[in-house]
Structure formats: C-alpha cells, structure tokens
Amino acid sequence: MATQPILTAAQMRAADLAAISQHGIPSLVLMENAARGVIDALIARHGALSGKRILVICGKGNNGGDGLAIARLASIGGAIPTAVLLFSPEQFSPDAFSQLSILNSFAADNVVRWEEHGWQAGGFDIIVDAVLGTGSAGELRSPISDAVAWMNQQRQPVVAVDLPTGIDADTGKAATTAVKADCTVTLGAWKPGLLLRDGPDHAGTVTVAHIGAPGIIYSNSKLRLLDRELAASLLPPITRSRHKYERGNVMVVAGSRGMLGAGILSATAALRAGAGLCLLAMPEQPATAIPHPIPAEVMTRLLPSDSNGAFDAARSLPGVMDELPRFASLAVGPGVSRSEGVAEFIRQIIEGSPIPAVLDADGLNAFAGKSSLLANRKAPLVITPHHGEMARLLGIEREAVSENPLEIARQAAAETTAIVVLKGAPTVIASPDGNGWILHAGNPGMATAGSGDVLTGVLASVIAQSGDPLAGTLLGTYLHSHAGDLAAATTGQRSLVAGDIIQHLPQAYTTLQCPTAA
C-alpha cells in the first residue's frame, strides 16, 4: 500500500534528530537538502530563476536557516536574492547562524535587516516565507506579525517554506495574521496543519521536498495521506472470467416518503462504482410518491411501510435479514426517517448483519447518544457521519468535532470498533487500531444534497468488490471525491449536484488507472 506519512511538529523534530543521531546525517546537510528542494520547486513553478529578484524573509530558527541557504543557492543559480533578517544574528539558532555566515562571506550586500525599510521599494518577482515553519503556535508578535502583514499586501507570489507562518503545524488553526501563500514546499513529509482547518486556504499548492533522510524514520507515523497514489494502489483487479455475482453485489436499505431519492442515489452510485448488481430495499409507496424513475439496472424490493411512509419495522425486518446472506455488502440509512420504530429497525439490522455494512445519514441518528451499541454486531462496519451527525452520535458539541476532527474520528473508531469516515473539509478516516488518513481531494461544490448518499453507495460497492472493508473505504472515499473534482471541472463548483458525481465515476476510475487520461 503506497502511502505518504503525515507528521506532527513533534514527530518531525524527532525524525530530524533520528536522521542526525542514528544515521549520521549532519543537520547542515539536512538544511542544504531542504533548501535545494525549495529551489527545485521554485524552478518547477516559475521557470529558470536567472535574473529573477527573490526576497527571502528569514526568522531566527532553522526555518530562517533554510531561507538563508535558499538565498545563497538562488544566487548561485543566477537569481538576485535579498535575505531579510527579522532578528539580530546573535539570536539565531546555531545552524541558522552558520548559514548566515556562509551567505555573508560572498553576498553580504544581499543581506538586510527588517528595520531597514529601503529594501521594500524593490520590484521583487518572488517572496519566500522562511520565518517560522513548524514553529508557529498561537498569535504572532512583532516583528513577525509585521512581516506577515506586509507579505500579504504584496502582489508577488509567496512561497512558504515548510508551513505558512501563522499556521499551526498540527491543527491548521491560523493566527489572526497568517501568511497566505500561493504554494508551500513542506520539508520531509506532510504536516496535519496543511490539510486541516485554515491550512489549505493559506498553504496554496503543496509539494513535498525530501531532505535526504531515510524514509524509515517516518514509518512509525499512524497518519497518512489519502491521495491518488494510494487510491490507485488499492484498485481491485478485473479478471476476464468474472460474472456479475463476482463483481460484488450490494443491498441498499434506504428511503421513506419524501426521501426516496436518497436510496435511488445510493443504489445508482453502487452500480456506477462497479458493483455487479444492486438491490434497493425501500418502503412501499403509491406509484405517485416516487419522485422519478428508478434506473432499470437497479433491482427493487418493496417492504411494508407504516402510515408515515417509512419502514414498518416489525414487518420489514424479516425481509431484510433473509436477503442479506446473498450479498457482499450492505448500505443502510439514507432517507430512512428518524422515528423510534425505524431507529430500532436500523439497530437490529446492524447488530445482526452477517456482511460488512456502511451506515449513514438517518441510520446514524438511530445510534445518537448510543454509540456503544455500534460495537454489538457480527460483521465489519463503516460509519460516514458529517460533523453534526458525529456530534449527535457521541453526545458532544459540534464545535468540538470541527476543532479536532481527526482525534474525534479516532475516538469514535475506538469506541465503536468501526471504520469512521468523518465527512468535511477535509474528510478524515480512522480505523479502530488508531491509524488515520486525511483525504487530499474534493471541493466545496460537493457540499450539496445527496452527495453523502452517493458516497454511501460508492463505499458499499467498492467494499463488496475488494472484500476488504478498510481498503474499500479508502479507495471508495477517494473515488467519490475525485469524481466530484472531475464534475466540478465540467459544471463548476456552484452548479454541481450529486448526480454529477455519479456521472463522473467512470472517468474517475479511468484516471486512477491511467493518470494521463485526466
């Protein structure tokens, strides 16, 4: 399974120390490699640097040392750098001081102090933020806050080294004043703060610069990036001899009066995501109550309904439980209503299901404040709450989920022994063993009615095909968001609807198998 680790600030410091103490890589070599990685990223983004005026604003720690090395290497490459020091040299870390001494030895005229405002009149082409990196925590103080405010007022592109100054490396929370970079070159490995909360809006495009440390020192991270590379590695094989029953068959239990479309979206998505067949079990309704035709490919089973058009729990449960052994996975919850009778119906299905299940929407609300009941079951379970549903499930405030989605997802996974897909910006995934993933795909246009129902169908489909609930969850979550990105490229984010995501699932598969088709 190809993965990119995500390291907290403390883990990154420990990794750097391991590279130095265990592998004998001098800290200045790591700094040189970091600077070269940033230079390579600048060239890839802006072309040859020769003749370009590059302003590097440097802090007093090792991030500032990286900046001073960047200025020197840019000079060697023909650029015209100016390194701006926010602090006096005697305050510098040892490695930053060494880099300053090297730069001063042949380009002292290119080093200025922040308080020397004459340099601000220069017409710079690129600004490099090398002030704090992973050292940002809490509010910024002068002169750092002044420098950040100045950078944000400029029209030139800003490139952040490791993290934009003012963004917490672990949480993504932004200080009142934080750098808004056009791109960020993060060093060694991804940091959670580049993906969480305010981080994506401040980091811009992110690339990873490898600093020469062996990858094994990052391998103990229990947090990984869910990106195209990982998703592509999880694609199940297609054999010429397989038939529809070997492609993965899915049962969807969903819908109620006025919410029948939710189940139709889930079932249609399951088929488009590759399931060989899909049975939609829904409460019986008058023909006039069905909002639009059910696709011909979707099989249906009409079950007894109550006076409100929802499942009649006592009479519908046998019809569901008798069918389940014929299927490889179950999707349950979209649009089923929130009555207590239906809630008990859902709880009995989850407890007794012999096959992996994906639980979403109103199905999750059946366990609100009763999350421990989710652990009482026979088969693997995937739950897909948004922040509000997670708050109701655990009996906590929604703000607690929004402030720390990764830890809340891990908590829920541990308590329920289920795989948790906590939907949001970004979506995070947690498994009961403490491992986590942050999704690197998707767009704001996907925050639209029915998008979650589509995800439920996709997950059930891919789990049925792969036979591996965790691998299927990771691939299905990425596939859904990738299809959403492809749809947004066609319709625009403002006009995107859930059906557009379904329509772009085939292209999402194609581009995963062959990236050049994107």
Task: Report the 10 Å Cβ neighbour count for 155.
Answer: 7
Question: CA 96, 73, 203 angle in degrees (round to 5)?
Answer: 75
pLDDT band (50, 70, 90) for residue 296: confident
Average pLDDT, the chain: 93
Q: Is the pLDDT of residue 449 over 60?
A: yes
Average pLDDT, integer, range 456-460: 98
Give the model's pLDDT for residue 150. 94
Residues of the chain with CATH 3.40.1190.20: 231-517
User: Residue 94: its pLDDT value, please?
Assistant: 96
Q: What is the pLDDT of residues 9-60, one digit of tens each?
A: 999 999 999 999 999 999 999 999 999 999 999 999 999 999 999 999 999 9
Q: pLDDT higher for 170 or 138?
A: 170
Q: Token pair 């069905």 is at which residue?
A: 290
Torsional sign, CA 72, 104, 98, 57: negative
For residues 352-375, give the mean pLDDT: 95
pLDDT band at 108 (very low <50, low <70, confident <90, very high): confident
Share of the chain above pLDDT 90, in %: 86
Cα–Cα dist 495/302, whole Å: 33
pLDDT digits (tens, 9 = 90+) for 307-322: 899 999 999 999 999 9
Task: Tell me: pLDDT of 123 over 70.
Answer: yes
Please tell me the CATH code under which domain 231-517 is placed. Answer: 3.40.1190.20
Band the pLDDT of 289: cuts 50, 70, 90.
low
Locate 314 and state its tokens.
């006592």
Distance CA 155, CA 137 (A): 26
Please state, in angstroms and as integers, the Cα–Cα distance from residue 198 to each residue in 12, 299, 402, 484, following that order.
Answer: 21, 44, 11, 21
Q: Give me the mean pLDDT over the 133-152 stretch.
A: 93
Q: Residues 465-489: pLDDT tens digits?
A: 999 999 999 999 999 999 999 999 9
Q: What confidence tens digit (pLDDT) does each residue in 189-246 have?
A: 999 999 999 999 999 999 999 999 888 888 889 999 999 999 999 998 776 545 555 6
Q: Is the omega angle on the peptide bond into residue 283 within 30 degrees of 0, that is, cis?
A: no
| CATH 3.40.50.10260 location in the chain | 4-221
Radius of gyration of the chain (CA): 26
Q: Are 75 and 81 in contact (CB under 8 A)?
A: yes
Q: Is the pLDDT of residue 121 over 70?
A: no
pLDDT value of residue 291: 63
3-class SS at 330? strand
Burial class (CB in 10 A: 0-12, 13-18, 19+), 63: buried
How many residues are listed for the chain in this entry? 518
Residue 292's pLDDT band (cuts 50, 70, 90):
low
Q: What is the pLDDT of residues 166-197, one digit of tens each?
A: 999 999 999 999 999 999 999 999 999 999 99
Question: Count of CB atoms within 10 A of residue 78's CB?
Answer: 11
CA distance 68 to 453: 51
In CATH, 4-221 is 3.40.50.720: no
**Mean pLDDT for the stretch of residues 402-425:** 96
